[in-house]
Amino acid sequence: MTITPFDSTLHGRGFADADIARLFSDSAELRAMLITWGALARAQAAHGQIPSESAEAIHRATLEIQIDPGALTQDTARNGVCVPALAAQFRAEMQAPEHAQWLHHGATSQDIIDTGLALRLRQALGFIARGLDATVAMLADLAEAHAETPMPARTYGQLATPTTFGATVAIWGNGFLAQRSDLPRIRDLVQVVTLNGAGGTLSVMGKAGPVIRADLARGLGLADATDNRHAERSHIRALAGWLGQTLAAADKTASDLLLLTRDGSVTLGTGGSSSTMPQKSNPVAPSQIRALALHGQALTQALSTAPWDHRDGAQWFVEWLALPQLVAATARALSLLSGMTVAPDAARLRAPLDEPSGLIHAEAISFALDLPRPEAQAKVKAWVGEIRTEGGSLIEKSGLPSDRFTPEAQWGEAPALARRFARAARI
């Protein structure tokens, strides 16, 4: 296998998202940085920091010049960042030293790299938002269609009380609704311009610095981050946390589906084939989602540490290692989930509720008996013990009418929960 399956020709299609992969390519990174330089030159010229003729030349060149990432490899490894090599290569390609000298004026590498990242994250979060919407819509349809498809709830892995498949789907869906409602906050945090200069004070640009930053933000369609993003990376930690929680919602759904596919209570369309067992239809998609979510936990943890001093190269490098994979994992998990064909088998789901012993109705029977609560619980518990050793029916032992203990009579607000989620999903 390759160092990361996300970039693997063999395994990449299972774990990578094609749109995200294009956004986090070398060429996309350099293009975003060039766009940032062009917009910065114009903003600086508007406030007399650099000549207007030079700003227009730089801006035009950033749209026309193509830089080969391979030409920057050696210097980037030595410098830790690609900006010095990129600036040198760009100035050479411009063939206009009188204008090229004003490129990157008063900025620092992190300003350009982080602002370029913000441009790409804006697009990435757009893809993820569409994946969230598609996932929520799929789950809403499923919840509504099966609001009254009975099944047993399980607690601690054991049969508990009746519920419905639709209510179960609503549990999954509500996790995604929470993430969708929180997405605007995350966008506001990360879709921002970073322009702080070498020490975080933007000193080279003088009093015009904050105004230039605001103009740069407008020119790029980003927000103006007035704080020092070099030293304070809470926006990246917040993004990582949100992505991790979105993966956790996907993991909850995928894990429950893996359990439900074990006995055919749910099927997932065409599954994966086994190399040796012809009868198998393996639930590959939820297994991939679960793997992406578990990987995402480690990535989120890697991004949770606060940086040192006014700039921390090591923590910044960790972002480069972890954040693209975390974004890709989230996007892919959502596309896998929204693309599933989830088909519940109503008869198999219901079967444990109609099991002759009636043990799943033990709680309901204990409340229905005309006895003080402790006595009722003790009696039902004794009956349960007898049935487990000798057989029989708990409902018959109770002497209560059997029609009080159908799934429909005991599923409580399960159908309402399913429909309430479906309505909320479509708002």
Q: Which of 27, 181, 234, 274 is catalytic?
A: 274
pTM of the model: 0.94
| CATH number of the structural domain spanning residue 325 | 1.20.200.10
On whether both 318 and 391 belong to a single domain, the answer is no
Query: 167 pLDDT band (50/70/90 cuts)?
Result: very high
Residue 225 CA, chain-centre distance (Å), reads 24
Q: Is 265 a catalytic residue?
A: no
H or E segment to which residue 164 belongs: strand 158-164
- Same domain flag for 325 and 383: no
54, 147: one domain? yes
Same domain, yes or no: 226 and 375: no
Whether residues 295 and 381 share a domain: the answer is no
Q: Same domain for 13 and 48?
A: yes
Burial of 351 (0-12, 13-18, 19+ CB in 10 A): middle
Q: Is residue 417 part of a domain?
A: no
Q: 344 and 378 in one domain?
A: no
Nearest to 40 by CA among 112, 98, 93, 118: 112
> Average pLDDT of the chain?
94
State the residue range of the domain holding 388: 356-411
Number of domains in the chain: 2
Examine the domain organization and report whether 125 and 154 are in the same domain.
yes
60 has catalytic annotation: no
Same domain, residue pair 252 and 366: no
**Up-side HSE of residue 328: CA atoms within 13 Å toward CB?**
28
Q: Is residue 205 part of a domain?
A: yes
Residues 186 and 68 in one domain: yes
Residue indicated by tokens 């230039």: 212
Q: pLDDT by residue (tens digit) across 349-401?
A: 999 999 999 999 999 999 999 999 999 999 999 999 999 999 999 999 999 99
Q: Is residue 14 part of a domain?
A: yes
pLDDT band at 270 (very low <50, low <70, confident <90, very high): low
- Is residue 394 located within the same domain as residue 266? no
The predicted model gives 39-64 an average pLDDT of 98
Residue 422 forms part of a structural domain: no
| pLDDT value at 275 more than 80 | no
DSSP string, 325-376: HHHHHHHHHHHHHHT---EE-HHHHHGGGG-TT-GGGHHHHHHHSSS-HHHH
pLDDT band per the 50, 70, 90 thresholds, residue 326: very high
